[in-house]
Each structure stands twice: as C-alpha cells, then as structure tokens.
Amino acid sequence: MGRLKFALLAVLAIMITASPKMAFAPVADPDVEVPRLRILVNLDGAITGGEWSDAVTIPTTFHFDDPGSTTRAGTIFLKHDCVSLWICMQIADPNENEGSWMAVMYDVSGNSALGSGDDEKAMIHPDIALDAAIIPTPPNWDNDTNLGGRLDIQGASGWSGGTLTYEFVHPLNSGDTAGNDPALKPGDSILAMYYAGDPEIGLDYIGSGGQYDLIITPCAAVGGTIIQTDHMAQLIPVLASHALTLALVSTAIITYKRRENKKNAN
C-alpha cells in the first residue's frame, strides 16, 4: 500500500468513528518559557548530539481515546531563533508505521479553544510536513495554499529504537494571515495543543499530549539572528501530493475536540 493511501485511510478512520470510552490529557495549560536557540539543528528526524540541549524540555504523556485508554510517553523540545520556532516531538512507538502523525494546533484566535481562526502545523511519518488553517465553513479546515496563503513549515521524521521523532521549524510571524498563521515576536505568548496518531493503536483514535502557554523569550537588541538552512526545496514535490492528507488530519482533530468538549459538558 502506498504511503499516501495508507495515511489517508488512517486519518479518515479517525474522522468517522467515536469511542464510547475516552481518556483525555489534563486541560491545564502551564506556562513554558521557550529559550533562544544557541545550537543549530539538522532537520533529519533524529536527535544528534546536543542539538536540542539548549531547548526547554517538556516531558508529557499522550492519552489516546481508544477503548483501552492507551498512553504513550513523549517529550516536546522547544526553542526559537528570534525569527522562527523550532520544535522536536518524540513519542514512544514500539513499531514503525507509515501514517503515524503529529500535529500542533495554535490558538491564534485567543479564545482558549480550538476553532475558526486557529492554525495547524502537522507532520505525517515519514517526512511529510503540512500546514492548515481552521475556517468557519465546512469542512472547517483548508490547506493554507488553497486559502491564498503559503506552506510555512519545514521538517522531517524518523523512527529508531522504539521512538518516533519529529523535527520541524516554522516562522514566528510568517505574515500569512490567509493561512491563520500565528503572528508572534519575542516576548509574546500563545496557547499550543499537541496531538499524535498511530495506526498500530487504531486508525480511529487520537492521542492528546496536553496544551501549554508558550512564552517566546525576548531577544537582545544586538547579536542578530541565526540563519536557517532552507530544507523546503527538497520537500515541496512531496508536499504537493499530500494536501488531502492534511485535510483529513485537520478534520480528525476538530472532531476529536468536539467529542472532548461534549464529554466535559456532560
């Protein structure tokens, strides 16, 4: 089965099935200070040497809403270079599966909930980086490029020794208002929500890794910024063929949040 077909089936199943027994991560959103980047990162889906040793480290647990309430240990690494936000997310994964995915949802609208006006940055393993916006009209999402925006994420993923690693970077302020991208500068903060999916747990279940108020630490007036290596050119041919996968991931997470909100209301 081809990579795209497998990913589509995996995420589509999440959209159309709701489990009667669901476990959710805590709703608390602790403050996390995101430090200034000091060490360059090679976006290759593997932590090499100390390339993330200058990042803030957030140990977390991904709570899946499958009948067995599966949990997977994870770690989120965050840092910034005054221009872009660098992110690494690792999750325990005993077996490598194409179609595993992760997503970060940004509360751009500032209402402490996922909905219209918010932003999504996502990756599907292996090495598929995706960019979406949450919009008010069905199907409640769209690819940034379909909305007149741009693809503003670079990244890679890799599996080794029972751990799946996603590394990616996106601008703090891309200027892409059509794509609902965050408009941040050093000193600002934003609520971020983290999700993961794994076909091995079940094609119709989502894992929540919690939500955090990210505080982008200030940058000195002197010293400049670190220049990024442009990985986008090598990803564009692949990304162009995976727009539908992004759409399904976006709809899946929106469906998940609606189920979660309904459960909490009851």
User: What are 104-116's pLDDT values in tens digits?
Assistant: 999 999 988 888 9
**Average pLDDT for residues 213-241, to the nearest whole number?**
57
Residue 58's pLDDT is: 97
Q: Which residue has the tokens 């759409």?
A: 247
| Single-letter amino acid code for the residue at 57 | T
State the pairing for strand pair 142-143/31-34: unpaired
**Average pLDDT for residues 91-95, to the nearest whole number?**
97
pLDDT confidence bin for 138, thresholds 50/70/90: confident
pLDDT confidence bin for 252, thresholds 50/70/90: low
Spatial separation of the C-alpha atoms in residues 100 and 114, rounded to whole Å? 22
Check whether 102 has a pLDDT greater than 70: yes
The pTM (predicted TM-score) of the whole model is 0.80
Inter-axis angle of helices 3-16 and 243-265, nearest 10: 20
Residue 67's pLDDT is: 93
Q: Which residue has the tokens 């995420």?
A: 11
Beta strand ranges found along 54-183 (DSSP E): 56-64, 71-80, 84-92, 101-106, 119-124, 128-133, 142-143, 154-160, 163-171
Spatial separation of the C-alpha atoms in residues 149 and 202, rounded to whole Å? 33
User: Two tokens at 224?
Assistant: 């400049």
Name the residue ranges covered by the structural domains of the chain.
3-265
Q: Among 248, 263, 261, which Cα is nearest to 14's?
A: 248
CB atoms within 10 A of CB 82: 18
pLDDT confidence bin for 32, thresholds 50/70/90: very high
Residue 204's pLDDT is: 81
Q: Among 171, 172, 176, which Cα is nearest to 142's?
A: 176
SS3 52: coil
**Average pLDDT for residues 198-205, to the nearest whole number?**
88
Spatial separation of the C-alpha atoms in residues 31 and 212, rounded to whole Å? 6
Check whether 250 has a pLDDT greater than 70: no
- What fold does the segment set 3-265 form as a domain? Immunoglobulin-like (2.60.40)
pLDDT confidence bin for 150, thresholds 50/70/90: very high
Helix segments in the chain, DSSP class H: 3-16, 232-240, 243-265
CA-CA distances (angstroms) from residue 257 to 28, 113, 117, 129, 171?
Answer: 15, 9, 15, 22, 26
Q: What is the radius of gyration, based on Cα positions, of the chain?
A: 17
Check whether 121 has a pLDDT greater than 80: yes
Residue 4's pLDDT is: 46
pLDDT confidence bin for 226, thresholds 50/70/90: very low
Spell out the residues 6+ positions from residue 237 whose beta carbon is closer than 8 angstroms to its own: none
Check whether 129 has a pLDDT greater than 80: yes
Check whether 193 has a pLDDT greater than 60: yes
SS3 145: helix
